[in-house]
Structure 1
Amino acid sequence: MTTIPRRTTNLRSARNIVALATAITPLAALLAVNFAGTATAATPNPDPTVTATETNTPSEYPWGPFYAKNNKASAQGGYTVDLIPVGKGKYRTKVWVHGKLTNLDHGSGKCAYAELKLHLFKAKRWVWQDIKWCGAGDKEFAVRKRDVDAVKIRVSQSDKWGRHLFNKGDWNYVVSPE
C-alpha cells in the first residue's frame, strides 16, 4: 500500500493580516485619492503594480490536502480573510473556509468525517463545525465566521451515523495564529 505524504502548511493568521492592514492604511488612503482622479496629476501612483481593487479584495490561500490515518478520507480547499473596518485603525475579520471532503472507502459503509475548530479571538473560545460524507466522491463545504484568528481541521472516518470516529488524522492548522 502506497502511503500518501501529508503536507502541513503555516499560513498567515488573521491577526497578522489585521496588523498588516493597520500598517498600510495610509498607503490605501493615498491609493484611493490617486484612483479617485482628484490628485492623479499632482501625486503619481507610488506602486503601479498595486491597484485600488487589489486593496479591497480578500486573497485566497490554499490548504491541504489533509488525510485520515489510513488515507481513506481527505479534505482540501482554500480560505479567505476579509477585513471589515470598524473604526480608526480597527478591523474585524470575516473568515471563509471552503473545500471538499473526499470519501475513498464508501463501499465498506464508512464515511469521511472532517472536524473544523474555529477560534474566536474576542470570545477566547473554540467553536466546532462537523462535516460528514458517506457517498462516493466529494462533498463540498463552506464555513463563514467573524472574528476568527485560527482554524484547525482533523480528517477521520466514522460509521454511517457519525457516532464513532476512527482512523483519526492529525489536527492541522488551516489558518495559523502564528
Structure 2
Amino acid sequence: MSPENSSGRPSKGRPSNDVRHVRLDDIDHILIDELRRDARIPNNALAAAAGIAPSTALSRVRSLVERGVIRGFHAEIDPEALGQGIQAMISVRLQADARKRISEFGSQIAALEEVLNIYFIAGADDFLVQIATVDTAALRDFVVDNLSAHPAVAATETILIFEHVRPRNSPSR
C-alpha cells in the first residue's frame, strides 16, 4: 500500500504525483487527520471516525496513496536506540556553477546511511540535511568526508540537535 521501498525512500518505478491539483473533500481530511495521528489505526476505526463503511475507507485511503497525497507509511525509529546519539542539522550551500546539478547532489547525499532527512530549501543555502551519528567524531567525519570534500559544496554549517519535540495531534487543515 506504500509508495515507498523498504528504505523509506520513494520507489524509483513509481511516477511522481503532482498533488497541486488534487481536490480533497471533508472525508479525505478526516482520514488524513486520523492517519496523521496514528498511521496504524485499524481500518474499521478509521471508517468509524469518518462515518463511512470500512470498504469505503479502504478504497479512499488507497486513492489518497495513488494520487500522491499520502506518500507512505513508516515507523519512526529513535536513532539513539540504534546507537546514534548525536543528531545534527547541516545547512549546505553549493558552488554557483554546481546549481545545475542540484538534483544529483541531493540524491547522492540522501543515499548516505547517516542521513535521516534532506530538504531542498530557499534562501542563502541550498539544502538542510538531518543526520544521526554515533558520536561527534563520526559527525565531523561525515561533514568532512561527504560534504566539505564534495566538489559541488561551497559551505556548510552544522547545528547540533539536543531534542526533537514532535507536535501531537496536528490537524491537516
**Which structure has more strand as a fraction of its residues?**
1
TM-score for the superposition, normalised by structure 2? 0.27
What TM-score does the superposition give when structure 1 sets the normalisation length?
0.27
Higher helix proportion: 2
